[in-house]
Amino acid sequence: MGLLQIAFAGAVGYGLYRYATREKELRRAAFASGESTPGPVEVRNAGPESMRSDPPQWDAVDEASDESYPASDPPAANRFT
- Does the global pTM surpass 0.85? no
Residue 10 lies in a domain: no
Residue 67 lies in a domain: yes
Give the number of domains in the chain.
1
Domain span at residue 53 reads 44-81
pLDDT in tens, 7-30: 999 999 999 988 887 766 666 666
Residue 53 lies in a domain: yes
Q: Is the pLDDT of residue 6 over 90?
A: yes
- Picking from 52, 48, 50, the residue whose alpha carbon sits closest to that of residue 60 is 48
66, HSE (Cβ side, Cα atoms, 13 Å)? 16
pLDDT in tens, 31-52: 776 666 666 777 777 777 777 7
